[in-house]
Amino acid sequence: MKTGAAAFAGAVAVTTTGCHFGEAWREAHGSMRADATPWFSISLAQWSLHRELFKGELNHLDFAATAREFGIDGIEYVNQFFMEKVRNASYLAEMNQRAADADVQQLLIMVDGEGRLGDPDLVTRKQVVDRHRKWLEAAATLGCHSIRVNAASEGTRDEQMRLAADGLTHLCDEAAAYGLNVLVENHGGYSSDGSWLAGVMRLSGHRLLGTLPDFGNFYMGELGWYDIYQGTDELMPFAQAVSAKTHHFDDDGRESDKDYWRLLRSVRDAGYRGWVGIEWEGDQLPEREGITKTRDLLVRVRGELAREAGPFG
């Protein structure tokens, strides 16, 4: 494995294509498919409870048990809620125990605040990859299948695509040693442009690189909004996780801003059979009520789309 700054020079040169769940995850859990029926399983993203966590009303270690209270089988961590404990072996062991006690699977860690993987400076880009290594170590310890990262960069659209693909490819090289995948979320800037992020996937071509399409994160800042349905269609062929973001509900339990039938039909038609994570981000309902409404909407649409499609695998 190349390690120096020189490893980042030149064009990305990974020839394998596609992505899959890492070897360690597959050994422990069999495959990315959580269950044959229903066609996707529902997980809970920790950000859904960020207000409680920031206020100290919920302890990070109690997150797994809280997910179980909603009848949810999988959890997705956010790194900032255990940033200082990432290399604390006893703390990670306690996280494992809490998840086992609650009978929930620890699926991934959403990693923010570690720098730009597409930084234009070669040395800085290497340092950012190095800073992500501790999260790979933690994810492997927790039995996760992936870490979720960002593809931030600087420059023209094409320059940013090349730089992001380079940094992500080298992070995937690191992830291979841990049997993990590296997933990129549409999370602002060009990453919220579905065609751009799909282009990053193709340019890298690394077998461990994938996407985590977020239904609500298609705002590109100064560049405006990208069409959420087009963006979801473009990102789903590379998806290894999906974030069902919600903000508002009408009296019928539908998400007011998004057509969840259309979005989840895109997920279904892409052949995705993994986890769809609840990510409540609204401010007009208490967090736990928002989580409940999102769960109920996912169950409702999942059932209706399954009946619409008939038998499928």
Is the full-model pTM beyond 0.85? Answer: yes
How confident is the prediction along the chain (313 residues), in pLDDT tens digits per residue?
333 333 444 444 433 334 445 544 445 444 434 444 799 999 999 999 999 999 999 999 999 999 999 999 999 999 999 999 999 999 999 999 999 999 999 999 999 999 999 999 999 999 999 999 999 999 999 999 999 999 999 999 999 999 999 999 999 999 999 999 999 999 999 999 999 999 999 999 999 999 999 999 999 988 899 999 999 999 999 999 999 999 999 999 999 999 999 999 999 999 999 999 999 999 999 999 999 999 999 999 999 999 987 765 4
Domain 38-309 listed as CATH 3.20.20.150: yes
- Domain boundaries defined on the chain: 38-309
SS (H, E, C) the chain: CCCCHHHHCCCCCCCCCCCCCCHHHHHHHCCCCCCCCCCCEEEEEHHHHHHHHHHCCCCHHHHHHHHHHCCCCEEEEEHHHCHHHCCCHHHHHHHHHHHHHHCCEEEEEECCCCCCCECCCHHHHHHHHHHHHHHHHHHHHCCCCEEEECCCECCCHHHHHHHHHHHHHHHHHHHHCCCCEEEEECCCHHHHCHHHHHHHHHHHCCCCEEEECECCCCECHHHCECCHHHHHHHHHHHECCEEEEECCECCCCCECCCCHHHHHHHHHHCCCCCEEEEEECCCCCCHHHHHHHHHHHHHHHHHHHHHHHCCCC
